[in-house]
Amino acid sequence: MPFRSRRVRIKDVKRRVSQIRNCLFFFATYAILGALLLSTMDPQFHSFAGSAIIVSVHLALIHGIRRYNLRILEFSQAGILFLLCVQILVLLFFPILLTSDLASGNYKNRWYPVFIPSETENFNGTLNIVNPGPPVMRDKFWLKDKHTGEIIIPLLNNIRMENNTLYHYWLGVIIGFAYQFAFLYNTALILLEYSMVKLLQRYIHILIIEAHRPFILENNKRGQNSPA
């Protein structure tokens, strides 16, 4: 009976390992594609450096998952922990700095969102897109003034025309909260990924011990039966 219950537990471990591997494959692919997309949308040194770290860590994770390589999994776990620490720091400071920069209006002609908005010209409160192309959903949420570099939210354009200071306050609050939510979501995903890698290593250790159990039992029997 104990032997049968142990076999059942091993089957559960194998099933959980398979589920965790599938989830980690998804997380790793998502992280690699996201890093590559970010590096193309924001072609600067810090974006390339961050993307290179993310891609290398998750490529190592994929290799470790495929090969059940504990050493590579430990390396990828350390890399994910580093990314988690960086993400927490970004979550704590970047939205506040961004909100302050937007609310003060100092961002003009210097700061742009990751998704570059279409340029517009302002004629008496009417927003006309410069060189209009196919209509995109992005143009309904934000635009950029061609001459001043000001970020314009069409839904708040009336407030912008009446009270520019109040408009920039709400601009900072809205975009700051949006970035904070995005960073919080990303932090939760990285934390979940770290926990799953750690759990996968534990299950692999169990499978390795179980695979060597017959040899251990056989050696113990030989040791007990050998003459003193």
**Between 203 and 116, whose confidence is greater?**
203
**Between 169 and 113, whose confidence is greater?**
169
Tokens of 130: 């410069």
Tell which residue, 35, 87, 39, has the closest CA to residue 61.
35
Tokens of 87: 């993400």
Q: Please, what is the Cα angle at 66 between 208 and 25, to 5 degrees?
A: 120
Per-residue exposure over 93-110, b if at least 16 CB sit within 10 Å of its own CB, e if not? eebeebbebbbebebeee
Q: Which helix (H) or strand (E) holds 25?
A: helix 2-41
CA atoms within 13 A on the CB side of 77: 17
pTM score, whole prediction: 0.77
Which amino acid, residue 172?
Answer: G
Mean pLDDT of 38-43: 76
Mean pLDDT of 25-40: 90
Phi–psi pair at 131, nearest 5 degrees = 50, 60
pLDDT at 160: 81
Mean pLDDT of 154-175: 85
Eight-state DSSP code of residue 26: H
Query: Please, are residues 61 and 73 in contact by the beta-carbon 8 Å criterion?
Result: yes
In sequence order, what are the residues at sequence separation of 6 or more whose Cβ sits closer than 8 angstroms to the Cβ of residue 135?
A: none
Residue boundaries of the structural domains of the chain = 2-225
Mean pLDDT of 192-212: 89
How far is the C-alpha of 195 from the C-alpha of 183, rounded, in Å? 18
Tell which residue, 116, 108, 98, 82, has the closest CA to residue 182.
98
Name the band, by pLDDT with cuts 50, 70 and 90, for residue 82: very high
Tokens 């495929």 locate to 66
Query: Please, are residues 98 and 176 in contact by the beta-carbon 8 Å criterion?
Result: yes
Strand 118-123 with 143-145, pairing: parallel
pLDDT at 163: 87
Mean pLDDT of 65-90: 94
Residue 27 vs residues 13, 75, 78, 166, 222: alpha-carbon distances, Å: 21, 17, 16, 40, 47
Q: Which of 24-38, 142-156, 174-188, 206-220 has the lowest mean pLDDT?
A: 206-220
Q: pLDDT tens for residues 168-198?
A: 889 889 888 989 999 999 999 999 999 999 9
224 has pLDDT over 80:
no
Share of the chain above pLDDT 90, in %: 36
